[in-house]
């Protein structure tokens, strides 16, 4: 038996009729996830800072997307900017029932020499930006669940949230916060039908970390990725698509996805 659904306009796919928002969509896991959700039939709003990248992604997706594709440049650390983006999504695509918060920053350095501005940037994007995103769309998600449909709030965390990585202490702390935020929001929003989930990638080949200032950590990251067959962004996108396509009463709450060699 197929799990595909059919939209009112005839589009077919496991996510047909859903309206998704993906942050961090200008590259990496966010871009791959946007493509995958669109391929599954969803209309997708792609959010990020780099407007040119978002427009290129939207142009690439539209010829084969079953639903609409809406690129929106936004600074996720600006609460009003995020709220304005949410209003635009609602006006253009309708009520949102699927949010993937993929935007993130990874800046490693020894604790005693790290730039505190890099700490602030990770906290701003990885935690504050994620909170602003979640808040902006929570009413839509609760409304979708009240109507009996699936409603998903997906965080892209990291195995660093529960593993030990010297030199990545503050980054790891932000991802540990995401993990526990997920658990508490599941308890808060789950009884109202919203599925809150945390997808935690291991070593993945993306642009993440490319803007680190610490040369030794930059080299260590390159060696980590070269020392095994890392995940591709599409691997994480596939995991997210699997989790959100589950029946509405099923929540794949925590999903760790790592290269086999990472253990």
The whole-number pLDDT of residue 7 equals 42
pLDDT in tens, the chain (263 residues): 334 454 444 455 799 999 999 999 999 999 999 999 999 999 999 999 999 999 999 999 999 998 999 999 999 999 999 999 999 999 999 999 999 999 999 999 999 999 999 999 999 999 999 999 999 999 999 999 999 999 999 999 999 999 999 999 999 999 999 999 999 999 999 999 999 999 999 999 999 899 999 999 999 999 999 999 999 999 999 999 999 999 999 999 999 999 999 98
* Fold of domain 5-262: Rossmann fold (3.40.50)
Catalytic residues: 171
Nearest to 72 by CA among 118, 136, 139: 136
The domain spans of the chain are 5-262
Enumerate the β-bridge partners of residue 71.
46
User: What integer pLDDT is reported at residue 12 of this predicted model?
Assistant: 58
Cβ 11 vs Cβ 90: under 8 Å? no
Distance between CA 134 and CA 127 in Å, rounded? Answer: 10
Q: DSSP assignment of 156-204, as one string? A: E--GGGTS--TT-HHHHHHHHHHHHHHHHHHHHHGGGT-EEEEEEE-SB
Q: Residue 173: what pLDDT? A: 98
Check residue 263 and give its pLDDT: 85
pTM of the prediction? 0.93
Angle at 152 between CA 147 and CA 153, to 5 degrees: 130
- Indicate the DSSP class of residue 27: S
Q: Which residue has the tokens 């079953």?
A: 66
Could you give the angle at which helices 130-146 and 169-189 cross, rounded to 10 degrees? 20
8-state DSSP, 6: E
Cβ neighbors of 129 (< 8 A, separation 6 or more) are 23, 76, 77, 82, 101, 103
Q: How far is Cα 174 from Cα 169, in angstroms, rounded to an integer?
A: 9
Eight-class DSSP state of 237: H
In the chain, which residue ranges form alpha helices assigned H by DSSP? 28-39, 51-61, 79-93, 116-122, 130-146, 169-189, 215-226, 233-244
pLDDT of residue 13: 79
């Amino acid at each position: 038996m197929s799990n595909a659904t059919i939209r009112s306009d005839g589009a077919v796919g496991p996510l047909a009729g859903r309206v998704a928002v993906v942050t961090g969509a200008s590259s990496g896991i966010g871009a791959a996830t946007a493509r995958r959700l669109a391929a599954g039939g969803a209309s997708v709003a792609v959010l990020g800072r780099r407007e040119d990248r978002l427009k290129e992604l939207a142009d690439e997706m539209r010829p084969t997307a079953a639903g609409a594709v809406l690129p929106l440049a936004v600074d996720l650390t600006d609460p009003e900017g995020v709220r304005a983006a949410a209003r635009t999504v609602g006006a253009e695509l309708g009520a949102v029932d699927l949010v993937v918060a993929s935007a993130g920053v990874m800046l490693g350095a020894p604790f005693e020499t790290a730039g505190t501005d890099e700490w602030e940037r990770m906290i701003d994007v990885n935690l504050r930006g994620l909170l602003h995103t979640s808040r902006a769309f929570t009413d839509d998600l609760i409304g979708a669940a009240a109507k009996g449909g699936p409603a998903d709030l997906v965080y892209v965390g990291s195995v660093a949230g529960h593993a030990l990585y010297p030199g990545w202490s503050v980054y790891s702390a932000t991802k540990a916060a995401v993990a526990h935020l997920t658990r508490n929001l599941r308890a808060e929003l789950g009884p109202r039908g919203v599925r809150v989930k945390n997808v935690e990638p291991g070593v993945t080949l993306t642009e993440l970390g490319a803007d680190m200032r610490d040369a030794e950590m930059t080299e260590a990251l390159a060696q980590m990725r070269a020392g095994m067959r890392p995940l591709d962004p599409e691997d994480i996108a596939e995991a997210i698509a699997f989790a959100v396509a589950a029946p509405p009463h099923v929540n794949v709450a925590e999903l760790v996805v790592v290269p086999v060699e990472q253990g």
